[in-house]
């Protein structure tokens, strides 16, 4: 199914062109059959023209149905699918949510009051390739925040951003994306379900062969809302 989604998205323009060409021929055939049906004199001619008209009408309806299906898939369904649907490496664990927040299991991975963030500077961040611009290292954050950065490498595959408690290597995926981003919004993070304290936020960018570059990691601190 993922291959079908990818095919419909990648060849959207080509599909529309082929449907348009097919539509022109089918409409022409339909009109010719209709004229023959109207001018037919003998019963056999009428039956033959009626059969041709029915065939032309069926093909025209089929092309319209394919157009509607392609339009619905590429406009409404495919853009809302999580990034992992399009990955060629299904063993990679991605968790995507529409709101950009952690899923329920992930949001409870960090129980209890957390300590201060380590305050270490960001590591692994490469401007123009893998980088987090906002929030910045050491920032205090609360509520729903917009993550701004860059995910742009050769043979780009997808990116994901994850969170772990300060000093821990247990990472929980917040969300993911399959489009290149240049110093723009990577997605949103709803921190309201997180226990206040120190965390590490990282951006991981993977190429289309499943090879991940060193992640961009920054320390942040979640504070309770007022």
Could you tell me the sign of the dihedral formed by the alpha carbons of 134, 137, 139, 142, in that order?
A: positive
Peptide bond into 121 cis (omega under 30): no
Domain boundary among 48, 80, 112: 80
3-state secondary structure 146-159: EEEEEECCCCEEEE
Q: How many domains does the chain divide into?
A: 2
Mean pLDDT value across the chain: 81
Domain boundary among 43, 59, 80: 80
Give 61-66's long-range contacts (Cβ < 8 A, gap of 24+).
63/19, 63/22, 63/23, 63/26, 64/23, 66/19
92 shares its domain with 161: yes
In this model, does residue 129 exceed pLDDT 50?
Answer: yes
In this model, does residue 11 exceed pLDDT 60?
Answer: yes
What is the pLDDT at residue 81?
A: 58
pLDDT tier at 94 (50, 70, 90 boundaries)?
Answer: very low
What is the pLDDT at residue 59?
A: 92
Domain that holds residue 140: 84-222
pTM of the entire structure?
0.52
31 shares its domain with 6: yes
> DSSP states of 41-87 as a string?
-SHHHHHHHHHHHHHHHHHHHHHHHHHHHHHHIIIIIGGGS-GGGG-
The average pLDDT across 116-144 equals 83
The average pLDDT across 154-171 equals 91
Q: Provide the token pair at 86.
A: 């399009």
In this model, does residue 102 exceed pLDDT 90?
Answer: no
pLDDT tier at 180 (50, 70, 90 boundaries)?
Answer: very high
pLDDT tier at 82 (50, 70, 90 boundaries)?
Answer: low
Pair 182, 152: CB distance under 8 Å: yes
Q: Provide the token pair at 57.
A: 């009408």
In this model, does residue 85 exceed pLDDT 90?
Answer: no
204 closest CA partner among 166, 172, 167, 165: 172
- Show Cβ contacts of residue 143 under 8 Å, excluding neighbours closer than 6 positions: 190, 191, 192, 225
Collapse the DSSP code of 26 into the 3-class scheme (helix H, G, I; strand E, B; otherwise coil) and give the result: helix
What is the pLDDT at residue 183?
A: 94
154 shares its domain with 212: yes
In this model, does residue 197 exceed pLDDT 80?
Answer: yes
Domain boundary among 80, 99, 127: 80
Question: Which parts of 73-195 fold into alpha helices (H)?
Answer: 104-107
Most confident stretch, 117-121, 198-202, 209-213: 198-202
129 shares its domain with 58: no
The average pLDDT across 144-152 equals 95
As beta bridge partners, residue 205 has 159
pLDDT tier at 89 (50, 70, 90 boundaries)?
Answer: very low
Give 76-82's long-range contacts (Cβ < 8 A, gap of 24+).
78/5, 78/8, 78/9, 81/5, 82/176
| Strand 140-141 with 216-222, pairing | parallel
Between 166 and 9, the higher pLDDT residue: 166
**CA–CA separation, 94 and 170 (whole Å):** 14
Between 84 and 151, the higher pLDDT residue: 151
132 shares its domain with 32: no
In this model, does residue 177 exceed pLDDT 60?
Answer: yes
96 shares its domain with 14: no
Question: To the nearest whole percent, how much of the chain has pLDDT over 70?
Answer: 80
In this model, does residue 90 exceed pLDDT 90?
Answer: no
What is the pLDDT at residue 80?
A: 59
């Amino acid at each position: 199914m993922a291959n079908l989604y990818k095919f419909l998205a990648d060849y959207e323009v080509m599909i529309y062109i082929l449907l348009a060409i097919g539509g022109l021929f089918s409409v022409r055939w339909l009109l010719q059959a209709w004229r023959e049906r109207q001018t037919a004199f003998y019963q056999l001619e009428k039956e033959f023209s009626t059969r041709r008209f029915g065939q032309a009408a069926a093909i025209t309806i089929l092309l319209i149905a394919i157009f509607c299906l392609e339009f619905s898939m590429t406009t409404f369904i495919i853009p809302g699918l999580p990034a992992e649907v399009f990955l060629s490496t299904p063993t990679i664990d991605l968790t995507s949510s529409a709101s950009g927040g952690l899923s329920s299991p992930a949001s409870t991975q960090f129980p209890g009051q957390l300590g201060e963030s380590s305050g270490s500077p960001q590591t692994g961040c490469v401007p123009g390739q893998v980088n987090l611009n906002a929030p910045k290292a050491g920032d205090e954050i609360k509520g729903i925040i917009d993550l701004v950065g860059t995910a742009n490498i050769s043979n780009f595959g997808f990116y994901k951003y994850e969170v772990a408690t300060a000093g821990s290597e247990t990472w929980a995926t917040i969300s993911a994306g399959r489009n290149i981003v240049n110093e723009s919004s990577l997605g949103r993070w709803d921190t309201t379900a997180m226990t206040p304290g120190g965390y590490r936020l990282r951006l991981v960018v993977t190429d289309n062969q499943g090879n991940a570059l060193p992640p961009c990691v920054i320390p942040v601190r979640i504070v309770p809302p007022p």
